[in-house]
Amino acid sequence: MGKFINLTSADGLVFPAYVAEPAGTPKAAVVVLQEIFGVNSHIRSVADGYAAAGYLAVAPATFHRVKPEVELGYTEPDMNAGFALKTAVEALPAPGVLQDIQAAIDHAGKSTGGKVGIVGYCWGGLLTWRAAATLSGLSAAVPYYGGGMTAGDEPARRPACPVLAHFGNQDHWIPLDTVEAFKKAQPGVEVHVYEANHGFNCDQRGSWNEAAATLAKQRTLAFFAKHLG
């Protein structure tokens, strides 16, 4: 359904993004932010799913600044490689990868002429949360189990668009008490907690939880329908 195109950031970096188009005229656009495993087959299938729901989906390669063409699986060596790449991206001077996400948002908006939402998973969930507070052109944001968004200074951010957040109550990367504290700090954010582990949306991982993934997707699509059209 989709294909890779090149986008250009404000600083001139050219980087790839996977784009999936709906069968008819897009009702809006959704930027899809990867986990720490690259724009792999799972993330491409997620983008395809949003295209099937009527949205233009754009999944930028957010590792490209430190390593191009990253496509990892979910083994322990893959996990270690992904963590190292994430650490390298997070260490970049500001605005770092956020300018690449802005380029994806801009492309999505220009391509459809409509509103743009953003959804991200794991590290992409954290980036989605940051994008909601710091980037322009977004009308809705949905972070899934955003690692780090309930810690440090992250809960103090003020999103500029409506946010729906999904967490799992068995997620050892994101302790439930930090989720509860986040909810108190962000009363305007719609937060849902599932009987599930980290990565529950990914059907290529052992932590996949079909019931939680299905319900979260239903809620996400309803949220996008409300705020994007």
Q: What are the catalytic residues?
A: 122, 171, 198
Q: Please, where are the H alpha helices in 39-186?
A: 41-52, 76-90, 98-112, 123-134, 176-185
Residue 11 one-letter amino acid: D
- Pairing state between β 14-20 and 28-33: unpaired
The Cα-based distances of 199 to 114, 143, 173 in angstroms read 30, 12, 10
In the block, residue with structure tokens 């809705």: 140
Q: Cis peptide before 77, with omega less than 30 degrees from 0?
A: no
Helices (H), 113-188: 123-134, 176-185
